[in-house]
Structure 1
């Protein structure tokens, strides 16, 4: 064997392998239509949106209440067509206007994006929220002055600061942000199970090891279908409607698996 061949493995160890190209960002909203998105609204079948809750206006997906006189339990979620496992999701959102009459106090200036959500076809007709992890979007003014980018856990639990945390919502370190402001949100879901929330480029919350909650009524059939497994390692993303107008734009995914 020649000397250059002997040296080649040593040189590779010293300088490292060639850098791997970063996965590309994929736009999952074309700015013109709801192609690839499926609504699930409380009290309606999957795919039904009888009163146009989700529409496209000015290059954004808008939660519209133009055909609603008051809120009567119609929580809405708009699901992207493909389940995801390890990925980065980034988008811009804007809470605006005034909420529908009839909402509860906590619904003021409140929306979000659901992560690792159950498939829309597995939701009950009258189910309010998909079993999922919610990156919660809040704005001020609202009765409770809370940051944005929080975590809420319908039917799930996570490990936060080294222990499994039973709270339904865990606050982030984001500053209070006003209604009407376009805000950039990003979430990173690593293959290890660690999840990071970012608001306007800054880390505001980290947690890991998402699981289905065996005490939750909506999670129980999912656990049974998974043969008793609690670990939650993949699922759908869904944009949320909770009674307050909100818009979403520039929605992109970078797959990490």
Structure 2
């Protein structure tokens, strides 16, 4: 989504304070990771690209090559604001999502300046089948992914809010985007981004074991989404579950891992939830 220059909030400790400093080890109970990307195909995913119907993978935008899930534009004459989103076919509510991504090559012709090395993970998103043909973005919470230009600072794991708002420090946050406190990742290096999503209670963006952005009570509202079905936007509705999307905004990007730990079984057991999250984040074999 489009970048706006807003003040950042201070980095927070992880929701469960023991998560990165705990003595928990890999021997603690933890759920098995669900590989949303199986390394072979996108049969469990639904593409939704602006100006095209849900399910149409226009110009083979989303593809699997060399074991990587790639976003490419070699079939486009011009980008023409054909923002694309690839939705996993099952919704989730309580989970830890891990992405490994890298930006590559050059931006395609017609892409906006703000979309250079720009992609995202959409959280608590609407059903892709409910998106209209001309809709630009799913109503969702976006974990914005950005790459650096080799010189200037440019944070990643930011927040953008197409058709949504969140609460930060007990105040409703209504601007469209908010920068995280992350460092800049330049070039074509692989970056690992974690998103801890616990229904509507808290969402944290985590890089290298540090929380770089935190908010809660995600809800439908605000603007920055166009040509949607009004029935899909009841402003004020709290979002506690939804679909996960990967984004196409005109710059090529690769994903080599998209995995999810389902935390819903621990929803009513805070102590066990703490241990599970700590174990997942401290598992060095996942890095």
TM-score (norm 1): 0.86
Tell me the residue number matched to 1:107.
Answer: 115
Tell me the residue number matched to 1:133.
Answer: 141
Tell me the residue number matched to 1:43.
Answer: 51
Q: Deviations over 1:90-117 (max 9, x none)?
A: 0101011110121211111100110000
Structure 1 residue corresponding to 2:259, chosen from 247, 252, 256: 252
- Secondary structure of the residue aligned to 2:60 is coil
TM-score (norm 2): 0.77
Tell me the residue number matched to 1:243.
Answer: 250
Pair 1:252–1:136, CA change in 2 (3 A): same
Tell me the residue number matched to 1:178.
Answer: 186
CA distance in 2, matches of 1:60, 1:20: 31
Matched, 1:93 2:101: yes
Deviation (angstroms), 1:199: 1.7
Q: Verify the 8 A CA contact 2:34 2:259 in the aligned structure 1.
A: yes
Q: Deviations over 1:159-184 (max 9, x none)?
A: 11331111100110000111311000
Larger-Rg structure: 1
Deviation (angstroms), 1:69: 2.7
CA distance in 2, matches of 1:49, 1:21: 39
Tell me the residue number matched to 1:82.
Answer: 90
CA distance in 2, matches of 1:90, 1:191: 17
Q: Verify the 8 A CA contact 2:199 2:239 in the aligned structure 1.
A: no
Pair 1:214–1:180, CA change in 2 (3 A): closer
Q: 5+ residue gaps in structure 2?
A: 1-26, 265-287
Structure 2 residue corresponding to 1:120, chosen from 114, 121, 128: 128
- State which drifts further: 111-120 or 66-75: 66-75
Pair 1:74–1:197, CA change in 2 (3 A): same
CA distance in 2, matches of 1:142, 1:127: 33
